[in-house]
Chain A
Amino acid sequence: AQSVTQPDIHITVSEGASLELRCNYSYGATPYLFWYVQSPGQGLQLLLKYFSGDTLVQGIKGFEAEFKRSQSSFNLRKPSVHWSDAAEYFCAVGAGGFKTIFGAGTRLFVKA
Chain B
Amino acid sequence: DSGVTQTPKHLITATGQRVTLRCSPRSGDLSVYWYQQSLDQGLQFLIQYYNGEERAKGNILERFSAQQFPDLHSELNLSSLELGDSALYFCASSLQREEQFFGPGTRLTVL
Residues of A near any B CB (own CB < 8 A) = 32, 34, 36, 41-46, 49, 51, 90, 94-95, 97-102, 104-105
By the criterion CB–CB under 8 Å, are B90 and A100 in contact?
A: no
User: Are B99's CB and A98's CB within 8 A?
Assistant: no
Pick from A36, A43, A100, A104 the residue with the most CB of B within 10 Å: A43
Query: Assuming A46-B99, A105-B43, is B90 touching A98 (CB within 8 A)?
Result: no
Instruction: Indicate whether B18 reaches chain A with its CB closer than 8 angstroms.
Output: no
Q: Is B68 an interface residue (CB 8 A)?
A: no
Asked, given contacts A42-B104, A43-B2, A98-B50, whether A90 binds B98 with beta carbons under 8 Å apart, the answer is no
A103 to B104, CA, bound (A): 19
Interface size class of B (residues with CB under 8 A): 20 to 34
A100:B98 contact, CB within 8 angstroms: yes
B2: which A residues are within 8 A, CB to CB?
Answer: 43, 45
How far in angstroms is the closest Cβ of chain A from B24?
14
The answer to the question of B105 belonging to the interface, with a C-beta cut-off of 8 Å to chain A, is: yes
Residue B45 CB within 8 A of the other chain: yes
The complex places the Cα of A92 from the Cα of B4 at a distance, in Å, of 19
Query: Which B residues, 1 to 44, have Cβ-Cβ distances below 8 Å to chain A?
Result: 2, 4, 31, 33, 42-43
Top 6 A-B residue pairs of the complex, sorted by shortest distance between their CB atoms = A94-B98, A43-B102, A44-B102, A43-B104, A100-B98, A102-B43
